[in-house]
Amino acid sequence: MSGVISEETGVGKALKYVAIQSFVESSFFTKLSELKLNEFKLDASKRAIRGFFTSPKKLNKFNDFPTLNLDFQSFEKGPVADSKNVYVTGELFNVNTIEEFKNLNKQDQLKEWGQEIFNDIVAAKELNFKHFNRFYILTFSDLKKYKFYYWVAYPTLHSPWNVVGGSNEELVHKYSDKIKEFLDDESDFNQFIQVVNGKLVNLQDIHLAQHGTFVFIDSSLNKEQKPSIQLKNYLYFLANKGFEEVDIIIYRNNGSSFHSHLKLDKADFKNDVLPKITGWERTSQGKLGAKLADLGSLINPHQLAEQAVDLNLKLMKWRIAPELNLDIIKEQRVLLLGAGTLGSYVARALMGWGVRNITFVDNGRISYSNPVRQPLFSFKDCYSDNGQGEWKAARAAESLKEIFPGVNSKGLNLEVPMIGHPVSDEAKSKANFNILSDLFDENDIIFLLMDSRESRWLPTVIGYAKNKIVINAALGFDSYLVMRHGSLKQNEKDRLGCYYCNDVVAPNDSLSDRTLDQMCTVTRPGGALMASALAVELLVSILQHPESKGAPNGSSTKFGEVPHQIRGFLHNFQQTKLYAPNYKHCSACSDVVIEKYNEGGWEFVKKCLNDSGYLEDICGLRKVQEEADLATAELMGDLGFSDDEDEDAEWLD
């Protein structure tokens, strides 16, 4: 019969016990996985936990077996006020690999645990219920599949007691009321009580003798006269203290109490030798073996995905980067201006880092050439009922949710006002500007991933004005640029340049009058992947720096360096880190441009869009050009050249 342990003895009748069973709630494993990820990591040290049995005063007809319960509260510390349950101390041994779980010598481990209980019983000055009922649980947590292998042990010390007499019902009846009163009056639970001169005393006040009468408060109400196996440790205690013959009242609150008269086989008992120890829990089939809790089939798949994403990131902290701040990455709100090749790969890398809030902005539709290079789109997105492809931004946001439902993604079909492209519909352009400005307010990080140079000007200006982290990624045929923009809060010496700081003219229209190869972004396919990955990794390094966006060029964090620019060349597979300081006449990030933007808002932007020469005037580039032309003319004059002597002048008219 499962759960019943029988012991054959040399003299008298065999004594049968009811084994303890464990009931481990899913919340126990949920808490264990949390602690494994955030606290235990690779530390396999044994840790104190607790469990509980239902109080014998609260048992009912369904409590056929003594049941140890474990839940999320098993890991909590401090006293527990709970009249329904009796708490016991235990130990968790959570190993790091399934091989370690399988190969651990279970008998040696049980002996080690049994030795601890033996020492408690023999040497402890104060004894209580917890000393005799300690439990141990060996576990392995497969957090990728959310499977938990576990095996509970209740180390039990054996002593050669034999049943030599039948049940004395009169003795049981005599003390039943006294036992109930004793349990009601005691603040601490006492499972084993001695009867001395008709009075009940707990183990702290035990009267040593060769003969004695004791009460065992049973933790199960099985229909047969079989005490819980918890009795065995108490019997070993009696044998160790010199008792040779005892009367045991097995008390139950439902009236099924009974009595056994036991005699110790002294020839087979040695007081100073560790006794035989058993106690590994058996399966429901009555076999020795571990159990498996497969929570993957019970937990919502969305929750599993969330935990799996966090798992991959937290594993970095275990050995490689313990100082890595994952929370600051996860909480960022990211705006991607561009939902094409760069936008798709940047979004995927951001999700890999745990970013949950991503917004796409684009005004293009998905074409047949896109899916092979842009991983958020597929062939079916290239056509719809109206014969056109899906809008890129909206479809990209939907794709992210299909990949990971825990992401908060959205897409806006928006045309970013571009310098060099005069305003033709002011109401529409102003509305787009206002939406873009609001998006900058709502987000912490801005990625510039568009396919034209002039489309990045306005986001660059707004990014500086609103003091946002701005990451720029741009592609050539076989080259790429990844850079971070500086901040107005950086001191003048350390202030980093922006995408336009090396220009001597304001950005202008590069989209009109283009051939087919100019209308398409013609690049080597691998460049986008490399640039996207570097852009996201650069962001992570920025976030790990205490000064964040204000980090000086080349400064380091515990996670690595924070460069200003990374330029890569695929034709020779080279990559270079560069630094360009802020240019005081920059058409996008100079102080005067930001001041004019803050003062005029849309009106200033409109003037710049309609006339890039206006922008060159206010930022000083026009004057720089004029001074350069004058210096060139003077130099040519000093060298003896003049326009009148140009032999080819007539051909250039």
Helical H segments across 165-229, by residue range: 169-185
Q: Are 336 and 447 in contact (CB under 8 A)?
A: yes
CA distance linking residue 590 with residue 501, whole number of Å? 9
Q: How far is CA 491 from the centre of its chain?
A: 37
Contacts of 391 (CB under 8 A, 6+ apart): 362, 364, 365, 366, 411, 413
520 is catalytic: yes
Catalytic residue among 520, 586, 608, 619: 520
CA distance linking residue 193 with residue 206, whole number of Å? 8
Residue tagged 């939406």 (tokens): 435
Helical H segments across 143-248, by residue range: 169-185, 231-240
- Candidates 552, 613, 623; CA nearest to 585 is 623
Question: Would you state the structure tokens that stand for residue 443, as one six-digit string?
Answer: 């987000």
Measured between its terminal Cα atoms, the distance across the chain in Å is 111
321: helix, strand or coil: coil
Residue tagged 């036991």 (tokens): 262
Q: Are 470 and 361 in contact (CB under 8 A)?
A: no
CA distance linking residue 31 with residue 18, whole number of Å? 30
Helices 231-240, 106-123: crossing angle, 10 deg rounding = 50
**Torsion, Cα of 491, 495, 501, 507 (10° steps):** -80
Q: Are 226 and 191 in contact (CB under 8 A)?
A: no
Residue tagged 């990625």 (tokens): 447
Cα dihedral 231, 233, 238, 242 sign: positive
Task: Render 381-427 in DSSP notation, one character per residue.
Answer: GG--TTSSPPBHHHHHHHHHHHH-TT-EEEEEE-PPP-TTS--S-HH
Active site residues: 520
